């Protein structure tokens, strides 16, 4: 089979670009210490999650000066707790999990956006610098009443 000279050049160029791309991605991943998740220290049994601390008492608790931990539980078409009041300027460490199916946890207007998987505990930190009511929405389809799944964070 005869391959034209120009085709050979383009073929070699494409292979060289592929090798360069894989080398850059590989070196970047190892240099930055990226690795797949190992042990799942942040997991919980979804069937008994509402009986295990801290998810047996979801809500906001103070852990430092102007620093809070918000423990939330997602379930079919709702979140526990239904509402939370957060002081203005507070740093909130969210921890959230689901007890049934995959849910979403998004606060529009912020960079808070998580996929809530049953049995996996998600962690996210956010500082609330603006007062107001923040709507928390489920952005993963979770069933027939998905559009009704929301809660409110009140920052004052």
What are the residue ranges spanned by the domains of the chain?
1-38, 49-155
Distance CA 57, CA 39 (A): 26
Domain 49-155 has CATH 3.50.50.60: no
Q: Which residues are catalytic?
A: 75, 77
Asked whether the predicted pLDDT for residue 31 surpasses 90, the reply is: no
pLDDT digits (tens, 9 = 90+) for 92-101: 999 999 999 9
Q: What's this model's pTM, rounded to 2 decimal places?
A: 0.72
Per the prediction, the chain carries an average pLDDT of 90
Asked whether the predicted pLDDT for residue 40 surpasses 70, the reply is: no
Q: Tell me what the mean pLDDT of segment 46-65 comes to.
A: 91
Q: Is the peptide bond before 79 cis (omega within 30 degrees of 0)?
A: no
Per-residue CA distances from 2 to 7, 8, 10, 12 (Å): 10, 10, 15, 16
Distance CA 16, CA 96 (A): 45
């Amino acid at each position: 089979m005869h391959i034209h000279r120009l085709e050979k050049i383009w073929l070699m160029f494409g292979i060289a670009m592929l090798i360069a791309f894989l080398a850059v991605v590989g070196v970047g991943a190892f240099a930055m210490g990226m690795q797949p998740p190992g042990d799942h220290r942040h997991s919980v049994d979804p069937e008994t999650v509402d009986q295990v601390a801290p998810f047996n008492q979801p809500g906001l608790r103070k852990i430092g000066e102007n620093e809070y931990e918000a423990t939330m539980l997602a379930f079919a078409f709702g979140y526990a707790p239904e509402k939370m009041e957060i002081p203005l300027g507070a740093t909130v460490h969210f921890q959230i999990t689901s007890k049934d199916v995959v849910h979403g946890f998004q606060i529009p207007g912020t960079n808070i956006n998580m996929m809530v998987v049953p049995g996996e505990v998600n962690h996210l930190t956010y500082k609330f610098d603006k007062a107001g009511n923040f709507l928390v929405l489920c952005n993963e389809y979770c069933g027939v009443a998905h559009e009704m799944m929301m809660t409110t964070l009140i920052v004052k």
